[in-house]
Structure 1
């Protein structure tokens, strides 16, 4: 029994000459229903948040600025990167990135949970808080650094204040998990100093320099050799958290310590702390 096949669905009769004709190439067109349906006004820049916990000995970002290459790589593919001091600071080294927002950790937490919004600014008016526990010579060094940033970088460090009592910083490692932590003995003195700057000098960002205990050589050598946890990092975060939580303005912290003895064994990841 022969099967009768129906003719193909052609709009015109097919002839043998058509089989010999050169085929026309057509360019494939990509199709994305969601992208094609989305109006231009609804296309948002790609924003990435980069977080590396501080004071826990992270393999990347647990030392002095060793996460900066990661931040730069992310900034190269994202429209906007939001990160925090532990990622973007390398002691006295810093790599500015125009599409990166420098946000203190407490503020970043509130942003992530949807409680706070972030507003980029062109420039902040910075107030400087110095711990009265800093020795006179060491305090003068920090004031000279502030003057240098004003003269060479044009940073608006508009005023400084010395706390009315030593902050009495203490540092230790948490025995339960090994992270660095500590305490601020006179946190009220710190907050009074910041309050005075905000009210009388109209600053909208604060830099804090507190006198930290000089490191135990055993603890500091381990960190300097790239094998330990940064003993200072935990309390630095506590200090900046206190300021940001109370005043809702950007804050950063730097420890005032005596320079460590020279060592040929310093790891490159920790070397930025040596200056």
Structure 2
């Protein structure tokens, strides 16, 4: 007679709001929460228990004037749709942030861009978490009113969303952010005059407050009257803030190896009646911070894979069940002319004992770059738009050759002349 409380093997449940969708729902968690296995949804379906879950990565590089993903969260609808098709979606703040808006998706991993590159290279792995302890860094260069507004946002997310925002700290020196457009690439970029001040503030939160994720709010220079800002508000041009935002978060993640995202501090802009819907999320409040805190609250932690290798296994022992590695990625979706980043190149490269993911490039999402698959020697499926990209992903997940869905795209099988 079987024991009543015996742990039984279980299939994954294909329901988008079910916790079992997580690729890192571990055997230990199953023992702790056995009742969760009884949850079902009307559209739930049992998947083949002998196939691992399907993981996609969606990339839209920051500050490159992307037609989709170059504004205030305008790539978020793509991510929401893609997340409903795949088991796990990995993306970064430029895709998932929408200033005052955000959208919780239980099977989406919020991964900062520098960490995503290291993940793609196989140097880091992603460890999904139940919840992070989030710390907040405020730039000493912020005016009192802006500082109070951002603290009110932090308190609001704690009271209304229950987010674990633990403590805040003010930098000991104004960061003095500068931003500009690179004349060679056309990308937005920038720097901080006092980066050490930021690193000291983050170090205090990590070592004294024991936070394991950090939101940074830096005071950005006012340029509300510039022509570039007017273009951005009308859904054109480049996000002038995004490039240096990436510089800031990359610096923190590289130094401390924890999740980080940035929100710029700016005074509210004058009302305009010609505002593009793509830019509107940034103008409905005093801050861009809500989406950052929401994303960081459940962002995966980063682990250096090399620290855990065992000579008898190609996969780190501590990562066997709970962590995601680059070898777990099945497909990567990105703009067709933005394939030159570290992450994209790493996913497209050939590694021993690692099957390359399907690379899907979207032609409609044009940018200021010209890093195409053909130019870089990357094998990729070219699609016109994200509608087609998601269709290719659905076919790939089903184990169907995507070209078999097209007219006359399957030719006679090739003969191999190799002996």
Residue 216 of structure 1 deviates from its aligned partner by: 4.5
Cα deviation digits, residues 29-48 of structure 1 (max 9, x gap): xxxxxxxxxxx775210000
Whole-angstrom distance in 2 between the partners of 1:70 and 1:88: 10
Partner of 1:100 in structure 2? Answer: 108
Partner of 2:74 in structure 1? Answer: 66
Residue ranges of structure 1 left out of the alignment (5+ in a row)? 1-39
Whole-angstrom distance in 2 between the partners of 1:213 and 1:41: 54
Partner of 2:229 in structure 1? Answer: 220
Whole-angstrom distance in 1 between the partners of 2:229 and 2:163: 32
Residue ranges of structure 2 left out of the alignment (5+ in a row)? 1-47, 285-419
Whole-angstrom distance in 1 between the partners of 2:168 and 2:80: 32
Contact 2:79 2:96 in 1 (8 A): yes
Whole-angstrom distance in 2 between the partners of 1:91 and 1:147: 17
Alignment of 1:231 with 2:240, yes or no, is yes
Partner of 2:404 in structure 1? Answer: none
Contact 2:140 2:171 in 1 (8 A): yes
> SS state of the match for residue 128, structure 1?
strand
Partner of 2:175 in structure 1? Answer: 167
1:261 to 270, 283, 292: 270
Residue 177 of structure 1 deviates from its aligned partner by: 2.1
TM-score (norm 2): 0.56
Whole-angstrom distance in 1 between the partners of 2:160 and 2:89: 27
Residue 137 of structure 1 deviates from its aligned partner by: 1.2
2:131 to 112, 116, 123: 123
1:141 to 129, 135, 149: 149
Alignment of 1:177 with 2:185, yes or no, is yes
Residue 53 of structure 1 deviates from its aligned partner by: 0.7
Partner of 2:383 in structure 1? Answer: none
Quick one: structure 1 residues 216 and 201, their matched pair in 2 at CA, closer, same or farther if it must change by over 3 Å? same
Partner of 1:7 in structure 2? Answer: none
Whole-angstrom distance in 2 between the partners of 1:236 and 1:126: 18
1:207 to 212, 215, 221: 215
TM-score (norm 1): 0.84
Q: For the aligned residues, what is the CA RMSD? A: 1.0
Partner of 2:56 in structure 1? Answer: 48
Partner of 2:396 in structure 1? Answer: none
2:92 to 81, 84, 94: 84
Cα deviation digits, residues 201-241 of structure 1 (max 9, x gap): 00000000000001252221110001110000001001000
How many aligned positions are there? 236
